[in-house]
Structure 1
Amino acid sequence: MKIPEILGEARALVTPAMEKALSQLSPEIQRVVDYHMGWRDAEGRPVQRRGSKSVRPALAFLSARAGGGEIAEALPGALAVEFLNNWAFLVDDVMDGDRFRRQRETAWVVFGQGQAICAGTALLTLAQQVLLESPTPARLAAVDLVLDTSARMLAGQTLDMTFERRLDYTVDESMAMTQSKTSSLLRCATSIGAVLVGADSRVVDRLAEFGQAVGVAFQARDDMLGIWGTPDQTGGRPRGFDVRARKGTLPIAVALNDPAHGPRLREVLAREGGLTQRDVEAATRLIDAAGGREWTDALARRMVEQALAALAELPLADDVRVHLEELAAMGLPDDVAR
């Protein structure tokens, strides 16, 4: 997958600002966050940084440009969405029992569940603080957006957790979880810059629609990687990871509701104890046969088209439009191995 150049530029802008903001945290919490971010090892020693792709900060910066402002005005918003994103990662890893992220052990494995949850909560607080400290008159509107986004993400996480106890969820329920848990954060990223620069509500709304659609595409692609992705694409997770974890992702939801293959898939996933490799392979074949992969692939492509349609309604500078289109294209699942 081609990585747009704008991501490197966004990372260069947001990383120093993140380090400055994180220095306000207590040493104990900062130690956990620095490890989670991939900046230091468990003993606090600097390491060669892997870092994130910085998609969300890039979207926040482009959002400000799309709203008629400058990138610098969106820096508090870029920080806020990165803090929200990492809050979710830290807490989700605890709730899901995920032991690896970014090709090393997750923060809760190293520091304990309580420390990881405290660090995540600190980031949620910091997301609001950096906006309140911003000099822009629109800072309260941006805080409202962050609060609404965090509420949506929590609702999505709660729904996701219910899927662990049942196999009768519908495709609509899985989609609702995706829109709340994942898409809402992309929606925030693509609109918060425009909010901070005081853009017209029509511009903010179209950018929010763009982000919501891109968010669904991103998650659909991730759902495919969670079943068919290779370890180098998934941060070290093996193929079929989401099947083994019995996650309520879109391909699995589609297959569970298929009359021909759903009953058999439900039987496999309902087995007591951990699934064997043979179980995972059998379930994966059933998901494929039921059209789970094909349906999710088509959804991702449809959502990218929908995002671009929302973008087409806005008068944008050529470079802003190109960058937003490049980032939307990252939701296309062309690189998911077959």
Structure 2
Amino acid sequence: MSQPPHTVHPSPPRETSPSSPLAAQQILGHVRTVVDPALRAAVNRLPDSVRRVAGYHFGWWDEHGRSITTDSGKAVRPALALLATQAVGGTAACGLPAAVAVELVHNASLLHDDIIDRDATRRHRPTAWSAFGVPAAILAGDALFFLSIHILSTAPAPLSTQGLAFLEEAVQQLIDGEYTDTAFEHRTEVTLAQCQAMAQAKTSTLIACACALGALAGGANPTQTDHLRSFGHHLGIAFQLVDDLMGIWGDPAHTGKPHLSDLRAHKKSLPVVAALTTPCPASQELASLYHQNAPLTEHQLQHAATLIEAAGGRDWATRQADHHLTTALHHLTAADLADHPAAQLATLAHMIIQRNH
């Protein structure tokens, strides 16, 4: 039987384990071939001024507008949207507006994030604000946010109705999480519960939204939509935990960011707050070091990472990531989905954890 057009069904080699990094990369690579043409078509609707900045950020061309081939990101969120659509019986073509919308929102937030964090590089290239200036990058991010709303508002119902409400709520929570994240940098006291709520808003909300939008596009029943949203919620928390681990101990060749970048920015990430709120000598020494106003030297940055590990921050974050992965997979099973796309969703979930394991 022939497959519907744009169906995301890569064919991994027979010997490839469903949960292997290779299988995940094959899924994401195929999603890119489906989503990129629609994503480019959407961005091409923008005025030339911001379209140039957005295309540079996506890795489609250099700062002069010349086409290049470079890393455009993993496309995890659009992959979740498309696979969720197929998992409830829809086609990838039905889920394409949802996939494009969440990828636009994600990249809008990255454009603004890089400015807030003063990150000079992303994916081994100068960030958009470094190449074009802060005003241009802010406006390009704004344009992508509004473009995502346009994509869903012109899609068939229920994406244009209930789906649009899902996305608008997710964007508001994402902004609240980003604001709280920056506010934490200037506070000496942050509880672990506050940090977890921030991470949920900043990262988990959009991933949960991607899964819920995909479910709506595929005609899911309310129970399936709720389980897929919960799958995305717990997966998003695991994603942020692993991202925070990589922000301290990740290899710059893999992360595309400078070594110890989160500590350099005095970020109150989850492993840091877990360590700071654990009563022990390493935690006290970390607090004294981390709360000083002067920039940390390279030696102090390395020592801070050692103290976080000694205070249990690294182990706590790793255990929590594993816990949320297990919970996410429970919701995936409970949703009663089509076998093949459900297995691919599980593969992507395992890939997120394996980034740091």
2:59 paired with 1:38: yes
2:261 aligned partner: 241
What is the deviation of 1:54?
1.3
Q: 1:317 to 1:67 in 2, by over 3 A?
A: closer
Q: Please show how residues 1-338 of structure 1 align to structure 2 within 5 Å.
A: 2-3=21-22, 4=24, 5-238=26-259, 240-260=260-280, 261-333=282-354, 335-336=356-357
Q: Which runs of 5+ in 1 are unaligned?
A: none
Q: State the distance in 2 between where 1:183 and 1:136 align.
A: 25
Q: State the distance in 2 between where 1:231 and 1:134 align.
A: 39
What is the deviation of 1:49?
2.7
Which stretch shifts more, 75-84 or 229-238?
229-238
Q: Is the 8 A contact 1:297 1:333 kept in 2?
A: no
Per-residue deviation, residues 109-154 of structure 1 (Å, max 9, x unmatched): 1111111110001000010101111134442111111101001101
Q: State the distance in 2 between where 1:142 and 1:300 align.
A: 28
Q: 1:137 to 1:188 in 2, by over 3 A?
A: closer
Q: State the distance in 2 between where 1:155 and 1:335 align.
A: 27
Q: State the distance in 2 between where 1:10 and 1:234 align.
A: 21
Q: 1:55 to 1:309 in 2, by over 3 A?
A: same
Q: Counterpart of 2:103 in 1: which secondary structure?
A: helix
Q: State the distance in 1 between where 2:92 and 2:111 align.
A: 28
Q: Is the 8 A contact 1:84 1:127 kept in 2?
A: yes
Q: Is the 8 A contact 1:64 1:70 kept in 2?
A: yes
Q: State the distance in 1 between where 2:21 and 2:70 align.
A: 20
Matched residues, percent identical?
Answer: 38
Q: State the distance in 2 between where 1:32 and 1:331 align.
A: 29
Q: Which runs of 5+ in 2 are unaligned?
A: 1-19
Task: Give me the TM-score of the superposition, normalised by structure 2.
Answer: 0.91
Task: Give me the TM-score of the superposition, normalised by structure 1.
Answer: 0.96
Which stretch shifts more, 227-236 or 77-86?
227-236
Q: State the distance in 2 between where 1:191 and 1:111 align.
A: 35
Q: State the distance in 2 between where 1:76 and 1:32 align.
A: 22
What is the deviation of 1:289?
0.5
Q: Is the 8 A contact 1:138 1:195 kept in 2?
A: yes
Q: 1:194 to 1:179 in 2, by over 3 A?
A: same
Q: 1:314 to 1:104 in 2, by over 3 A?
A: same
Which stretch shifts more, 325-334 or 30-39?
325-334
Q: Counterpart of 1:233 in 2: which secondary structure?
A: helix
What is the deviation of 1:334?
6.3
Q: State the distance in 1 between where 2:35 and 2:286 align.
A: 44
Q: 1:333 to 1:10 in 2, by over 3 A?
A: closer
Q: Is the 8 A contact 2:58 2:72 kept in 1?
A: yes
Q: Counterpart of 1:232 in 2: which secondary structure?
A: helix
Q: 1:109 to 1:311 in 2, by over 3 A?
A: same
